[in-house]
């Protein structure tokens, strides 16, 4: 059975909001030439372009950005979905930002993407050291989890999930990464799907796609990773096993 590989980007293939590391980049370029690959990211296209080199982007079968509300083939936008967000939701998010006890603020607390609003208490203009500081503070005090639970209670028509290290993603119900599986099954019937992501916890933005992949078939896999180094180690094993299988077929 043919396998289709799906990858989150931020934290799975690259360090948070950074470029893919050179050693992994060289290996992954070979992997994409051997196996069918799709990227499924919550980020928009400009951020993806900053993180993944062009040879890898072009080697992929396709790219889903903004949690699947945009689909790209190489540099061409094939289609996208649009949504106008509830004004009361936006007002509530503004109050949440104002009331947060976290002191380090860097500006650009909202980022509207296709079908999604990304909300960050410290702000998306944050430098890397500030990003790390907020991430560890949030792990200790659970601010993002509290925001997720509150918004889920008062705005049940939206799905809310932790995104990356410093933000929360809000999208219409059903407009999560899970939406990509229906399209992929149409394009690749009778295939199995293996998804790698680093946010597969209960409130992570990779969890919706993991859930539908698990429910769809026992042949599918959703693999939770801690960082790009773990992803690389696993893919190297898959790559070696794939070549060993091809060699056995040639010798048969």
Which of 10, 44, 198, 206 is an active site residue? Answer: 10
- When pLDDT is cut at 50, 70 and 90, the band that residue 243 belongs to is low
Q: Is the model's pLDDT at 248 over the cut of 80?
A: no
Q: Give, in order, the Cα–Cα distances in Å from 221 to each of 197, 217, 224, 246.
A: 11, 9, 10, 22
Average pLDDT, whole number, for the chain? 93
Does residue 107 come out as left (phi exceeding 0), alpha (psi in the -120 to 50 range) or beta? left
CB 152, CB 162: distance < 8 Å: no
Active site (annotated) includes residue 203: no
Q: Is the model's pLDDT at 17 over the cut of 90?
A: no
Q: Which pLDDT belongs to residue 107?
A: 93
The C-alpha atoms of residue 73 and residue 60 are separated, in whole angstroms, by: 8
Question: What whole-number percentage of the chain has pLDDT above 90?
Answer: 91
Which pTM does this prediction carry? 0.85
The whole-number average pLDDT for the span 97-120 is 94
- When pLDDT is cut at 50, 70 and 90, the band that residue 1 belongs to is confident
Active site (annotated) includes residue 8: yes
Q: Is the model's pLDDT at 212 over the cut of 60?
A: yes
The full set of domains in the chain, from first to last, is 3-81+175-251 (3.40.50.1000), 87-172 (3.30.1240.20)
The whole-number average pLDDT for the span 175-183 is 96
Q: Is the model's pLDDT at 196 over the cut of 60?
A: yes
The whole-number average pLDDT for the span 114-141 is 95
């Amino acid at each position: 059975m043919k396998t289709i590989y799906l990858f989150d980007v931020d934290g799975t293939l690259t360090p948070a909001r950074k470029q893919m590391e050179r050693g992994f980049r060289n290996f992954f370029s070979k992997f994409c030439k051997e196996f069918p690959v799709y990227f499924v990211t919550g980020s928009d296209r400009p951020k993806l372009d900053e993180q993944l080199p062009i040879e890898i982007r072009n080697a992929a079968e396709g790219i889903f950005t903004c949690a699947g509300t945009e689909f790209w083939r190489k540099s061409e936008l094939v289609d996208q979905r649009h949504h106008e967000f509830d004004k009361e939701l936006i007002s509530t998010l503004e109050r949440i930002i104002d009331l947060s006890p976290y002191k380090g603020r860097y500006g650009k607390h909202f980022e509207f993407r296709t079908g999604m609003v990304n909300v960050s208490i410290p702000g998306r203009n944050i430098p890397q050291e500030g990003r790390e500081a907020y991430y560890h503070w949030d792990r200790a005090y659970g601010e993002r989890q509290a925001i997720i639970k509150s918004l889920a209670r008062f705005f049940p028509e939206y799905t809310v999930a932790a995104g990356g290290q410093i933000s929360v993603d809000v999208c219409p119900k059903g407009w999560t990464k899970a939406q990509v599986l229906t399209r992929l099954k149409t394009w690749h019937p009778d295939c199995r799907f293996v998804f790698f992501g680093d946010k597969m916890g209960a409130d992570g933005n990779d969890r919706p796609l993991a859930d539908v992949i698990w429910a769809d078939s026992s042949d599918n896999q959703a693999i939770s990773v801690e960082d790009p180094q773990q992803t690389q180690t696993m893919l190297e094993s898959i790559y070696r096993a794939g070549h060993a299988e091809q060699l056995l077929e040639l010798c048969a």
